[in-house]
Structure 1
Amino acid sequence: MKVLRHEEFADGCEAACNGPYANRWSKTMMGYGPESNHFVVELTYNYGIKSYELGNDFRGITIRSSEVLKRAKAKKWPILPGNVLEAPGGYKFHIIDAPQPTDRDPVEKVTLSCSNLLKSINYWNGLLELTIFDRTDKTVLLGFKEREAKLELENIEGPVQRAAAYGRIAFACPFEEQPKIAKKIEHHKQTILKPLISLDTPGKATVRVIILADPDGHEICFVDEEGFTELSQVDPEADKLLNRYIEKDRS
C-alpha cells in the first residue's frame, strides 16, 4: 500500500478517533489508491502507548494479490496456513493467490465478528441500507457498490469482545444525509456514540461526522462527503512526513 496522507495531533480526538486516549497521536492513511475510490486503512498511533489488548471483533482484511505473497517470501515474512499474513500487533491479512487487479481495488473485504447474524443484517442492511451481495449460514457480505471493497460479518456464536484495540468502519455520505441518518437511528432506538460534530485537522479541511454503534458495538462513522473530499486529497509528501516523525519518535 502507499502512504496517502499523514497527520499529527497534539491532543486526543473529540470523537475518539484515536481511541480512549487524551495524548498526542497521529494518523496515517494507507491504501492502493486515492481515498475517493479505494478502501483505505487508517493507522492511528498513540505516542507513549506500547501495546493494545486485542479482542475477537476484527477477523481480518482480504486482499487479492499473489504479488503480496511473493514479497512476503522474498522478505521472509511468515506466511501462515491459508495464505494469512499477520501484521505487527496481531492483525490478520488474508491473501488470495491471484494477480493483483489493476481495474479495481485489490482489497476485497473487511471481516468483523458478530454474535447474531440476523440482528446484524437487520441493522446493516435494514437500517444503514447496505446491499447484501452474498450470504451463508454464518456470514453475510455487504456493501454500497458492486466494484468496491465489502464488509463481511461472521457469526462467531458468542459474545463479541472489543477489548482495547478496536477501530471503526467509516463511510462518506452527502452532508445533507447525516441528519437523516441520525434521525433514523434515533427512531429505531439504536446507539449514537457521538452526535453530529465537526472535527478539525491542522492546516486542512474541517469535516462533520456522526459515530454509531451496531448491535455488537462495532463503531461506524459517517463523514460528510464534501469536507472529506477536500481533506482526503493525496499528499505527495506524505511518505517523507511520516518517515520524519518516525525518526523523531524512535520508539
Structure 2
Amino acid sequence: MRMLHTMLRVEDLEASLHFYTQLMGMRLLRQSENQEYEYTLAFVGYGEESNSTVLELTYNWGDNTYDKGNAYGHIAIEVDDIYAFCDRLKSNGADVYREPGPVKGGSTVIAFVRDPDGYAIELIQAK
C-alpha cells in the first residue's frame, strides 16, 4: 500500500495552479474536466503519480466557497534553503505567516505559508 494523493477543494483553480507550480515548484501532472458533474481536477506534484504522493486540486463549478473548519492541519514540504525559498514566496505575494526559524523546543527549522485558499503549508528545512 502507499498514499496516492491529498485532495484540496479550491475556489480559483488558476490562482491555485500558479501558486503550486510557479511558487512551490510543483508540476501540473494532469488535468481533466467533468462536464456532466461540473468540476475540474488538477493533479500537481514533485514527481510522477506512479511513485510520488501528489495533490489533487478540485475546482467545483458554480458555488465553490468552502468552510475549512478547524480539523485541517497542514501539508508539509521539505525545502533545500528555507530562507531563500520564503524570501522568493514573499516577493511573489505569498502569505508567509510564520517566518523561518527553529520549531519550539527543537532545532528543526520550519516556516508556514498559506496557499490562495488559505490552506496551511509547513516548510521544513532539509537536513
TM tier, smaller: 0.5 to 0.7
Q: Is the 8 A contact 1:69 1:97 kept in 2?
A: no
Task: Tell me by how many angstroms 1:93 deviates.
Answer: 0.2
- Which residue matches 1:46? 60
- Which residue matches 2:5? none
The 10-residue stretch of structure 1 (31-40 or 90-99) with the greater mean CA deviation from structure 2: 90-99
TM-score by structure 2 length?
0.61
- Which residue matches 1:3? 28
Task: Tell me by how many angstroms 1:69 deviates.
Answer: 2.1
Instruction: In structure 2, list runs of 5 or more residues that go unmatched.
Output: 1-25, 99-109
- Which residue matches 2:107? none
**Residues 57-104 of structure 1: CA deviation (Å, up to 9, x unaligned):** 2211000112642421331422112511011222100001337xxxxx
CA RMSD of aligned residues (A): 1.9
Task: Tell me by how many angstroms 1:35 deviates.
Answer: 0.4
Instruction: In structure 1, list runs of 5 or more residues that go unmatched.
Output: 13-23, 100-251
Aligned length: 88
Distance 2:55 2:85 in 1: 16
Q: Is the 8 A contact 1:84 1:94 kept in 2?
A: yes
Partner of 1:83, secondary structure, is: strand
1:80 aligns with 2:97: yes
- Which residue matches 1:89? 117
TM-score by structure 1 length?
0.33
Distance 2:97 2:46 in 1: 23
1:1-251 alignment to 2 at 5 Å? 1-12=26-37, 24-65=38-79, 66=82, 68-81=85-98, 83-98=111-126
Q: Is the 8 A contact 2:76 2:122 kept in 1?
A: yes
Distance 2:97 2:70 in 1: 18
- Which residue matches 2:104? none
Structure of greater relative contact order (alpha carbons < 8 Å, 6+ residues apart) = 2
The one-letter code of the counterpart of 1:4 is L
Give the structure with the higher percent helix: 1
Partner of 2:55, secondary structure, is: strand
Distance 1:30 1:88 in 2: 15
Task: Tell me by how many angstroms 1:40 deviates.
Answer: 0.5
Partner of 2:95, secondary structure, is: coil
Give the structure with the higher percent strand: 2
Distance 1:74 1:39 in 2: 28
Distance 1:98 1:75 in 2: 22
**Residues 121-152 of structure 1: CA deviation (Å, up to 9, x unaligned):** xxxxxxxxxxxxxxxxxxxxxxxxxxxxxxxx
Q: Is the 8 A contact 1:51 1:89 kept in 2?
A: no
Q: Is the 8 A contact 2:95 2:115 kept in 1?
A: no
Q: Is the 8 A contact 1:64 1:95 kept in 2?
A: yes
Q: Percent identity?
A: 33
Task: Tell me by how many angstroms 1:39 deviates.
Answer: 1.2
